[in-house]
Amino acid sequence: MKRFIAYFFPLFVLVSCTTSTTVKSPDGRLSVCFRLTENGQPVYSVHAADRPVIEESPLGLMTQELDLSNGFDLSGLARQSCDTVWETVWGEERLIRDHHNELTVRLQHKSGVKMHIVIRCFDDGFAFRYAFPKQEKKQLTITNELTAYRFAGDPETWSIPWRTEYYEGLWNKMPLSAKTDTLCSPLTMEFADGYACMHEAALTDYPAQNLYVSDGALRTYLTPWLGTGEREVKAYISLPFATPWRMVILTKTLPEMVASRIMLNLNEPCAIADHSWIKPMKFMGIWWGMHIKTMTWEAGPKHGATTANMERYLRFAKQHGIDAVLAEGWNLGWEDWQHFDFTTPYPDWDMTYLSRLAQKLGVEIVGHNETGGNAADYERELDTIYRYHATHGIHAIKTGYVSPIIRTLDGLQWNKGQSGVRHYRKVIETAARYQIAIDNHEPVMPTGLQRTYPNLMTQEGVRGQEWNAWSRDGGSPCEHVTVLPFTRVMAGPVDYTPGVFCFENPVIPETRVHSTLMNQLGLMVCIYSPLQMACDLPENYMRYPDAFRFIERVPCDWERSLLVDGRIGDYCIFARQKRGAEDWYIGGITDEQPREAVVPLTMLTPGQRYRLTLWRDGDEADWLTRPYAYNIEEREVTAADTLTVRMAAGGGFAAEIVPVQ
């Protein structure tokens, strides 16, 4: 990523005896007020258009060495403003504006420790972090973060509990005051007059935040280290140090919330000097067959990742314009999930032959490294593993950590604790040196690190499509995918693996995909990922080749993106412009209720004629009884036209709009 336009960066410093100060958004609508109480406790409040959004709430940290919740004096203030536009390596937009006002509150504790609170105010939200400058004190052991949010009102809130394994849960909606679990972020809230999304940004060498309701406020619970005794240790920090940003998006409408880029703007610019090798891709793979039990990961009579099967997939991908093929189960270790060998294939996998074939065909191979949660052994061998893959022309790897508590170099730890966060960062940085992109499964929740390391292209952290293959609860309900764009996807790209074309699984008949075929096409647009997997088997795609044509055509890298319409848990309609082109792609999905989608085509260039190809549910379609009924229509349209489409129960639609030459 690179800075594109820089406008102004005025900076001035004030030293004052005042204990209260305010920073406002560039448009003046949003304001964050900071003050010190009489006992030196830092507190803050937030107003939007002179209406309280967050009432006065505490800030501060507890450490083994010091109580940093009070006892502070104000030693100075620093202000600066930023208005820049930077270009993404890949993303939902090519250009992103970073426009904010910043206030740094310089505090000195009675112990002599210096702590700054840095506040940034954007037109669509705010963020703050704790920063310790270079000073005499060198180490601190964090035992609690006292950050709280006392929201005015009681919004409907979508969340999942923090101990949900791998974040693979159904998002639960209820009033904030009724939430009794400790919750992981992001949290998405709907007020009477707007929306909020709470998350964190630039999570580095610190535990992931979690949130719980107590005494009328949301409070912070940092993921702890395991094995640190009765008084939980959350983080060991070396000064100077800055915590992740605590961020809250605040908008009047859902399209504004989805369009917010605060999280990316809070991360550092790209650290990879030459990022030309990082390419968004559509891929398919030897994967779905294992989940529907027609193939196995381990060697045997039903082994999926064989030379012959991979060659079949590679040739299919070449024929249909799919960029890459993933293979899971090609390497030793799947028999017991204990000792994976990431450089030794099974005897029925010829890595040299397949890598040469892939290069000849112009199709990439996506490697797969499942650790079974043994992050420590994986980390020790990273250079050897990535050198092996790069030597065979493999420049994208899907990693896996199937264990709720992983074995790190520090022993058994939560994957979202400080030790796990350090491991994932090590993987990303090492992979970048070998020009390898990462698709991280069983991750820590994304926080925008893809701006700094764009080789971190996508992550799981979601109850994805695989649950529809084997979950004994019958599979995810239709509404699940209409919640994700407003919750999990707010944290970053997600490897949901859309594109199933056969919904029944005779091996596990209790479960199925709750979707129509057109809903699966709509997901390719609605759920964003720069590594977008079309997950089904080649033979299933050839049952409906004219529907598969949309998957062949739809890109996964965008000039700009718009939420046209939506309601959390009910439906959503996205329109995205292909990067560097005038082509537009529109996707819509709905829950169990059939709906009529109305899409004004005002995003198109006025005066230009376009050819619209529409893939829509058939008139009799229904996710349970007639999931495969669909129609394809073509016609010319202009920016003055409106697209009206009926979505069946559990259904959706997809559209391609390209200029008429």
- Pick the catalytic residue: 145, 466, 479, 656? 466
| Residue whose token pair is 């993303």 | 91
Query: At 390, is the secondary structure helix, strand, or coil?
Result: helix
Contact predicate 17/78, CB 8 Å: no
3-state secondary structure 407-473: EECCEEEECCCHHHHHHHHHHHHHHHHCCCEEEECCCCCCCCCCCCCCCEEEECCCCCCCHHHHCCC
466 belongs to the catalytic site: yes
Rounded Cα–Cα distance for residues 279 and 261 (Å) = 21
357: phi then psi, degrees, rounded to nearest 5: -65, -45
Alpha helices in 243-304 (DSSP H): 254-259, 262-265, 288-291
Query: At 291, is the secondary structure helix, strand, or coil?
Result: helix
CA distances from 661 to 456, 495, 611, 656 (A): 37, 35, 10, 15
- With 0-12 CB in 10 A as exposed, 13-18 as middle and 19+ as buried, what is 7? exposed
Of 448, 436, 349, residue with least CA distance to 398: 436
The tally of CA atoms less than 13 A away on the side-chain side of residue 520 is 30
DSSP string covering 316-374: HHHHTT--EEEE-S-BTTTTTSS---TT-B-TT--HHHHHHHHHHHT-EEEEEEE-TT-
Rounded Cα–Cα distance for residues 159 and 173 (Å) = 7
What 502-507 contacts at long range (C-beta under 8 Å, 24+ apart), as own/partner pairs, is 502/536, 502/537, 502/540, 502/543, 503/468, 503/627, 505/292, 505/293, 505/469, 505/470, 507/292, 507/293, 507/294
- The rounded radius of gyration (Å) of the Cα atoms in the chain is 25
3-state secondary structure 183-194: EECCEEEEECCE
- With 0-12 CB in 10 A as exposed, 13-18 as middle and 19+ as buried, what is 94? middle
Rounded Cα–Cα distance for residues 339 and 371 (Å) = 8
Looking at the annotation, which residues are catalytic? 466
